[in-house]
Amino acid sequence: MGVFDSGVGGLTVLHECLVTLPHEDFLYLGDHARLPYGPRPLDEVRRFAREIGAFLEAQGVKLVVAACNTATSAALPQLQEELAVPVVGVITPEAHAAVQATRNRRVGLLATEATVEAGRYAELVRTLDAGVEVFSVACPRLVPLIESDDPFTAETTEAVREYAMPLKAAGVDTVILGCTHYPLVRPIFQRVFGRDVTLVFSAEETAREVAETLARKGFENDASRQGGYRFLTTGDPDVFRTMGARFLQLPIPAVERIELAELTAAA
C-alpha cells in the first residue's frame, strides 16, 4: 500500500495502519522538498498530490492513503477518478467520527490554512448531519512548532490556547485535530480543552477505513505473513529518519531519496 504526506505527519497514520494490518506491505513517501503544503494554493497542492498518486500507482501499490489533510482536501476526488486503485483520505473518517461523538452538535476544526479554505470538513459533516455546526480555525504556527526539536514547549501550549479560544467561545464539545501532525502533542490539546471536549484525529479512523476497503475489495494479504515497509523522501533522508521515528514510534532503518523529476514524470 502507498501512503503519502507532505512530510512526516502522515507517519502517525502509517503507525496505526501497521498496527491494524501487520500482514500488509507499505511504501511511505514524504514530500519534504515541497513542505509545507498548508500555506500553498489548493491547485498547487492538487498537482503535487496527483504526481505522487501516479508515482505510487506505478510502484504497484494496491491502495493509496492520502495521509495528509491538506492533500485530501485539495485532491481526493481527482485522485479517486484518475487512479485505478482505491484511494482513502483522512477527512471522511474524521468527519464521521466527529458527527458520532458530538452531543450538542457543535464541532470545532483545527487545521492548516489550505484545509480550512477548502471547506471539505464542513461539507462532509453537513452531509452526515445537516444540523451540526462546524467552527473552523486555521493554525499556521503549529506544524513548525511540532516539527521542532522540542514540540512540548510553552510556545506550543500558548499557540494551542490561542487557536482554541474561538472554539471554546463557540461552545464546541468535539474538536477535529485536522492535521496529521497534531496527535503528536495530543496531551497539550487535551489539557487546553479539558476532559469534556472529545478530540477526534485521523489515524485510528483512517486505518479502520483502509482495513474495511481491503476486505471489501478482497485485496487482503494472508493474515499469517509478516508485512514490511519502505520509506521515500524528496528531501534529506537523515532529517526524515531522525524526525520520522518520533512520529512513527517505531525504528526507521533506511530512507531512500527520490528526485522531484521522478514525481513529475509519473504524472
pLDDT at 54: 98
Low-confidence residues in the chain, pLDDT < 70: none
* CB-neighbour burial class of residue 185 (10 A; exposed 0-12, middle 13-18, buried 19+): buried
CA–CA separation, 195 vs 174, rounded Å? 11
Cβ(215)–Cβ(239) below 8 Å: no
CATH class of 2-89+204-266: alpha beta
List, by residue range, all CATH 3.40.50.1860 domains of the chain. Answer: 2-89+204-266, 91-201
User: What pLDDT is stored for residue 204 in this prediction?
Assistant: 86
Q: What is the pLDDT of residues 119-166, one digit of tens each?
A: 999 999 999 999 999 999 999 999 999 988 899 999 999 999 999 999
* Structural fold of domain 91-201: Rossmann fold (3.40.50)
Give the sign of the dihedral formed by CA 61, CA 57, CA 177, CA 205.
negative
pLDDT given for residue 119 in this prediction = 95
DSSP secondary structure string, 77-97? HHHHHH-SS-EEESHHHHHHH
Q: Which pLDDT score, from 0 to 100, does residue 267 have?
A: 84
- pTM recorded for the entire structure: 0.93
Q: In what order do the strands lie in the sheet with 87-89?
A: 87-89, 64-66, 2-5, 26-30, 229-233, 256-257
**What is the three-class DSSP state of 183?**
helix
Active site residues: 68, 179
- Identify the pLDDT of residue 147: 86
